[in-house]
């Protein structure tokens, strides 16, 4: 059973960067299609980027292009999401999520395993 364990809460100043980690257990990272989703206080879910099922590459939502970088360390089965030039509107809970329903050939189009989330607060 796949589990995603995220790093702890962060407090950052405007203009700084934050790097959130997501460690995989129960499987290897290379076999997973990882995504990052955020949720601002009282708001809905917002996909930031992740696995593109069309070509297997990492893609970013247009809103975050140029500010977000998603990487993977396969030696430790840990995925990372780094967001730069932080502003107050980036205050949110950041989730990593993946699809593991391998009985379904389209499993990578949705997310059935989620981390518990990492709270990032941007404040001066």
Partner 1 sequence: SYELTQPLSVSVALGQTARITCGGNNIGSKNVHWYQQKPGQAPVLVIYRDSNRPSGIPERFSGSNSGNTATLTISRAQAGDEADYYCQVWDSSTYVFGTGTKVTVL
Among 21, 29, 35, 70, binds partner 1 (CB under 8 A): 35
Nearer to partner 1, 17 or 65 (CB): 65
Is there binding between residue 111 and partner 1 (CB under 8 A)? yes
DSSP 64-101: GTTTEEEEEETTTTEEEEEE-S--GGG-EEEEEEE---
Nearer to partner 1, 86 or 97 (CB): 97
- What residues contact residue 90 under an 8 Å CB cut-off, 6+ apart? 83, 120, 122
Within 44-63, the residues that bind partner 1 by CB under 8 A are 44-47, 50, 52-54, 59, 61-62
Q: How many helices (H) does the chain have, and how many strands (E)? A: 0, 11
Nearer to partner 1, 31 or 104 (CB): 104
Placement of tokens 């329903």 in the chain: 101
Please identify, among the stretches 14-22, 65-73, 78-86, 102-110, the one whose residues bind partner 1 according to the rule CB under 8 A.
102-110
User: Whole-angstrom distance between the N-terminal and C-terminal Cα of the chain?
Assistant: 40
Is there binding between residue 95 and partner 1 (CB under 8 A)? yes
What distance in Å separates the CA atoms of residue 19 and residue 42, rounded to the nearest whole number? 23
Residues that bind partner 1 (CB under 8 A): 35, 37, 44-47, 50, 52-54, 59, 61-62, 95, 97, 101, 104, 106, 109-112, 114-117
């Amino acid at each position: 059973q796949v589990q995603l364990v995220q790093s702890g809460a962060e407090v950052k100043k405007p203009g700084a960067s934050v790097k959130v980690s997501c460690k995989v257990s129960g499987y290897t990272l290379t076999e997973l299609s990882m995504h990052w989703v955020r949720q601002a206080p009282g708001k809905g879910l917002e996909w930031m980027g992740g696995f593109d099922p069309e070509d297997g590459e990492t893609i970013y939502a247009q809103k975050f292009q140029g500010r977000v970088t998603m990487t993977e360390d396969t030696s430790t089965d840990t995925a990372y999401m780094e967001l730069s030039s932080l502003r107050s509107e980036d205050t949110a809970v950041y989730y990593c999520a993946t699809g593991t329903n391998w009985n379904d050939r389209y499993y990578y189009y949705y997310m059935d395993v989620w981390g518990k989330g990492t709270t990032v607060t941007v404040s001066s």
